[in-house]
Chain A
Amino acid sequence: MPLVIIEVMPKPEILDPQGKAITASLARKGHEGIAGVRMGKRFEIELDEQPTEAKLAELRTIAEDMLANSVIEDVVDVRVAEHGESWDAR
């Protein structure tokens, strides 16, 4: 199945308590050299057929309007998955 991958991250200026908690946990476990972790979201959108440019534009709009909240998050990537990248190929 054709797949589009959308990635959303908290804006750089937005505090990310989840990322901070992960960073602190890694330090407690003795992992050195990890300055910080920020946690975002990855959406894998399964399509019936290969997306047209119009469908990709629609998905970009969905990403900006619903999958991300532009007050606190940025859409950092909208792309058609490479062969072997989809969940059914993993």
Chain B
Amino acid sequence: MRIGVVTFPGTLDDRDAQRAVRFGGHEAVALWHGEHDLQGVDALVLPGGFSYGDYLRSGAIAANSPIMTEVVAAAEAGMPVLGICNGFQMLTEARLLPGALTRNDSGLFVRRDQLLKVERNDTAWTSGYSTDEVITIPLKNGEGRFVATADQLKQIEDENLVAFRYVDVNPNGSTDDIAGLTNARGNVVGLMPHPEHAVELGFGPSTDRLRDGLDGLPMFTKVLEQIAA
């Protein structure tokens, strides 16, 4: 599979995301925010960082950048799109996922090895996990507190849109411990923690199950082009 990784000014995890795509057995295609060309990729990753310095709101300017016209159209046509951290913020700002990410309740930038429960393994990006599997991947952000309107929370509950939930510690005050969402179709997934930083043996956070830092890799090995509607 050819998986595009979009770089915006201020993106910083694009190289790690490209590397994770390669470790997952796919070809990584570098895409640039100012273009209108997805270069025929089969799936897209919006990586983490601080696009446009997080000016206005995190992800807001990026969500209005040229390539997002094509990203939104591709997502609406069913292409797998994964947003990590700043990429998740872009997906909410682009209205591809409900809610918003706001400043952590502690007021602090938080970096920790985070336990997550995989609540949906039937999305384009999560079929490598089992339902309710608990994984450990790094989390690092200042604006990761998920909030949503009452209507959106009802939609999230009714349509079962929570893909990942924080376990043990809610690091930022996110509503209902929400760490990541999917859209109803299951092709668009966004999460605050960073699976691309846990894809190489010995370099991700260790777990007591001796997987030694590989808990993010299934996100990149099993990317489904077609998912059951």
Write the residues of chain A forming the contact surface with B, with a CB cutoff of 8 angstroms.
14-15, 17-18, 20-21, 66-67, 69, 71-72
Residue of A nearest to B64 (CB): A66
Chain B: interface size category? 20 to 34
With both chains docked as a complex, state the minimum distance between the C-beta of A22 and any C-beta of chain B, in angstroms.
10
Among A18, A21, A66, A71, contact of B148 (Cβ-Cβ < 8 Å): A71
Asked, given contacts A14-B147, A15-B173, A20-B107, whether A72 binds B102 with beta carbons under 8 Å apart, the answer is: yes
- Chain B residues near A69: list those with CB within 8 A: 57, 60, 93, 100
Show 28 residue pairs from A and B whose CB-CB distance is below 8 angstroms, ordered by the A residue.
A14-B102, A14-B147, A15-B102, A15-B105, A15-B145, A15-B173, A17-B103, A17-B104, A17-B106, A17-B107, A18-B107, A66-B56, A66-B60, A67-B56, A69-B57, A69-B60, A69-B93, A69-B100, A71-B92, A71-B99, A71-B100, A71-B147, A71-B148, A71-B149, A71-B152, A72-B100, A72-B102, A72-B147
With a cutoff of 8 Å between Cβ atoms, the chain A residues found around residue B173 in the complex are: 15
Taking chain B's interface residues, is the majority helix, strand, or loop, or is none over half, making it mixed?
loop
Which positions in B face A, CB cutoff 8 Å? 56-57, 60, 64, 92-93, 99-100, 102-107, 145, 147-149, 152, 173
Residues on the A chain within 8 Å of B100, using CB = 69, 71-72
**In the bound complex, what is the Cα–Cα distance between A66 and B57 (angstroms)?**
10
Complex Cα–Cα for A15 and B104 (A): 9
What is the CA–CA distance of A71 and B57 in the complex, to the nearest angstrom?
12
Q: Using Cβ atoms and an 8 Å threshold, which residues of chain B touch A21?
A: 107
**Bound complex: CA of A28 vs CA of B100, how far in Å?**
32
A17 pairs with B105, CB closer than 8 A: yes
Give the complex CA separation of A17 and B149 in angstroms.
Answer: 19
